[in-house]
Amino acid sequence: MTQANDQMYEEAMQIKVLYFASLKELFGRSEEQLSVEGVSTVDDVWKLVSKGYDVSHQVLYSINQEYAHADALVKAGDEVAFFPPVTGG
Amino acid sequence: MVKITGIAFDPWEELSSFQTAMKREGEYGACANFVGTMRDMNEGDAVNGMFLEHYPGMTEKHLEKIVQAAKEQWEILETLVIHRVGELLPNDPIVLVAVWSAHRKDAFEASRFIMEDLKSKAPFWKKESLESTGQTAEKNRWVQKNTSGY
């Protein structure tokens, strides 16, 4: 890989983002493929996608179907999900 | 065994057929089970129905993880976890958790552990359809938070 390619890879990465329950309704979509730049943690992704929305409840994060802390790192190809507190059972 | 189902299930039927199929007669001395059923009232409002959403893939994985954690903590012979998703009506069973063990301590404690972890961490979300009274503006609402079972 050339240096130019490396740089491009660092600038923009492809990730899949999923939304559930009330967040899905608020954003009007359940999933999207995003090309994100300047993003390193899952919280960076959240700030990007939730910009301009008023989310009043707690939001939980997952990366590749495992719960993730706000500072967990996201890499190209990851499946990131955002959802409200769970209410099953 | 962990199962997510989009269609109504009979927990007693499931318990009975699973117990027969697992073929461990003589080994287990205890089976503790919990069945969660949909009510027709919540927070003072009459509820007509409910939609249960989940995260296909993560939900199953998380339930398997809970069961595995229980097996590491208690002496368990078999477990059965069934959770309903989709459109539900009052009185529909929502969840079944059953644990078989040699002695009751393991079955009681492990089933409680699985159920509480499921309620607080497994990715499921409930949306209630409220009966229209003319006073309530919203007809559907997401359940905000599960209460603690302890």
Return the HEC string of chain A. CCHHHHHHHHHEEEEEEEECHHHHHHHCCCEEEEEEECCCEHHHHHHHHHCCCCCCCCCEEEECCEEECCCCECCCCCEEEEECCCCCC
For testing contact with chain B, the best of A18, A64, A79, A87 (most B CBs within 10 A):
A87
Contact between chains at B119 and A89 (C-beta distance less than 8 A): yes
Above 70 in pLDDT, residue A5?
no
ipTM (interface predicted TM)? 0.91
pLDDT of residue B131: 84
Above 50 in pLDDT, residue A1?
no
Among the residue ranges A45-49, B116-120, B134-138, the one predicted with the least confidence is B134-138
Tell me which residue of A42, A37, A84, A64 sits closest to B143, measured CA to CA.
A84
**What mean pLDDT is predicted for residues B55-76?**
98
- Nearest-CA distance from A8 to chain B in Å? 31
Q: What is the pLDDT of residues B96-127, one digit of tens each?
A: 999 999 999 999 999 999 999 999 999 999 99
Contact between chains at A85 and B146 (C-beta distance less than 8 A): yes
> What DSSP state is assigned to residue B132?
P
* pTM (predicted TM-score): 0.92
> Which SS3 state, helix, strand or coil, does residue B75 take?
coil
> What DSSP state is assigned to residue B147?
P
Contact between chains at A84 and B125 (C-beta distance less than 8 A): yes
- Nearest-CA distance from B124 to chain A in Å? 5
Task: Please name the residues in contact with A6: beta carbons below 8 A apart, sequence gap of 6 or more.
Answer: none
| pLDDT range class, residue B48, cuts 50, 70, 90 | very high
pLDDT of residue B129: 95
d(CA A71, CA B40): 41
> How many C-beta atoms lie closer than 10 Å to residue A86's C-beta?
25
- Mean pLDDT, chain B, integer: 95
- Each domain of chain B, given as residue ranges in start order, spans 2-7+28-133
Above 60 in pLDDT, residue A72?
yes
Backbone angles phi, psi at B134, to 5 degrees: 90, -15
Per CATH, domain A3-83 is 1.10.150.120: no
What is the fold of B2-7+28-133? Aldehyde Oxidoreductase; domain 3 (3.90.1170)
pLDDT of residue B126: 97
